């Protein structure tokens, strides 16, 4: 994977951390942009359209949560990968982070090799994502090219992870995907995902498309039904 083809926006109000991250990602060949608060981050994101944003949670002016929400409100960043950086012991809720629109989170202190390997895995998986075409089941239609879902004729736009999750389940209706398989296909084997991450995404997905399309097999996983 040619890292020079990817742009990363680093957002943190601590100059030492920004310098540290910028050095390590630049050394790997990534195009790196930096911002030290949420307002600057939004402006830099609009200007440079990064492939991935590493976003500190606790910042002045507007915090990482609000910055993420504002970015997700813009069509330009519906599919952009956003990862939160959080300090240990910080007043941070994993569920709140995913509700704000984050794809993942990483806990400080940061280990350069681990962080870079994780980012590489995420970007590599995104580059290789392929689809087999649109899906249609009774009152639900999944448009792959537009990444839209029609439920009883009503258009629904889903964030990247929610769309990918729905598409995976809908590819094989009635098949029960075990949690481990979903984590592997959606987040990748090299990405450590919190235990509640999948449940949060399923809950948000059900809220948007309706409760009846995704069935829970208790203690096993999830399946798509229609």
Q: Name which residue leads in pLDDT, 29 or 188.
A: 29
Q: Name which residue leads in pLDDT, 102 or 190.
A: 102
pLDDT(168) > 90: yes
How sure is the predictor about 56, in pLDDT bands with cuts at 50, 70 and 90?
A: very high
How sure is the predictor about 178, in pLDDT bands with cuts at 50, 70 and 90?
A: very high
What is the four-CA torsion angle of 11, 191, 103, 126, rounded to 10 degrees?
100
Query: Which tokens belong to 167?
Result: 């598409």
Q: What is the pLDDT of residue 2?
A: 60
Q: What is the pLDDT of residue 130?
A: 46
Look at the chain and count its residues. 226
Tell which phi-psi region holds residue 223, choosing left (phi > 0), alpha (psi between -120 and 50) or beta.
beta
pLDDT(89) > 70: no
The three-point CA angle 75-76-79 to 5° equals 85
Pick the most confident of 49-58, 88-97, 140-149: 49-58
Query: Which tokens belong to 159?
Result: 């964030």
Domains of the chain, first to last: 3-128 (3.40.50.2300), 135-224 (1.10.10.10)
DSSP collapsed to 3 states, the chain: CCHHHCEEEEECCCHHHHHHHHHHHHHCCCEEEEECCHHHHHHHHHHHCCCEEEEECCCCCCCHHHHHHHHHCCHHHCCCEEEEEEECCCCCCHHHHHHHCCCEEEEECCCHHHHHHHHHHHHHHHHHCCCCCCEEECCEEEECCCCEEEECCEEEECCHHHHHHHHHHHHCCCCCEEHHHHHHHHHCCCCCCCCCHHHHHHHHHHHHHCCCCEEEECCCEEEECC
Tell which phi-psi region holds residue 150, choosing left (phi > 0), alpha (psi between -120 and 50) or beta.
beta
Summarize the confidence of residues 93-112 as an average pLDDT: 80
Q: Which residue has the tokens 């920004």?
A: 18
Q: At what angle do helices 160-171 and 197-209 cross, to 10 degrees?
A: 80
How sure is the predictor about 60, in pLDDT bands with cuts at 50, 70 and 90?
A: confident
DSSP collapsed to 3 states, 57-89: CCCCCCCHHHHHHHHHCCHHHCCCEEEEEEECC
pLDDT in tens, 105-145: 888 888 888 888 888 887 876 655 544 678 988 789 998 88
Q: What is the pLDDT of residue 190?
A: 59
């Amino acid at each position: 994977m040619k890292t020079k083809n990817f742009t990363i926006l680093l957002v943190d109000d601590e100059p030492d951390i920004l310098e540290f991250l910028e050095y390590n990602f630049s050394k790997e060949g990534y195009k790196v942009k930096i911002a030290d608060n949420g307002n600057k981050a939004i402006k830099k994101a609009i200007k440079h359209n990064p492939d991935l944003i590493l976003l500190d949670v606790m910042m002045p002016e507007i915090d990482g949560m609000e910055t993420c929400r504002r970015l997700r409100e813009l069509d330009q960043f519906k599919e952009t990968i956003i990862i939160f950086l959080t300090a240990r012991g910080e007043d941070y809720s994993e569920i709140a982070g995913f509700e704000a629109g984050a794809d993942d989170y990483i806990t400080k202190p940061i280990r350069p090799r681990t962080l870079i390997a994780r980012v590489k895995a995420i970007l590599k998986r995104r580059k290789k994502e392929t689809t087999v075409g649109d899906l249609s089941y009774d009152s639900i239609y999944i448009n792959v090219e537009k990444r839209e879902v029609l439920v009883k004729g009503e258009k629904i736009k889903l964030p990247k992870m929610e769309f990918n999750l729905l598409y995976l389940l809908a590819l094989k209706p009635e098949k029960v995907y075990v949690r481990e398989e979903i984590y592997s296909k959606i987040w990748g084997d090299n990405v450590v995902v919190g235990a509640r991450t999948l449940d949060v995404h399923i809950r948000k997905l059900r809220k948007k498309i309706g409760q009846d399309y995704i069935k829970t097999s208790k203690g096993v996983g999830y399946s798509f039904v229609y």
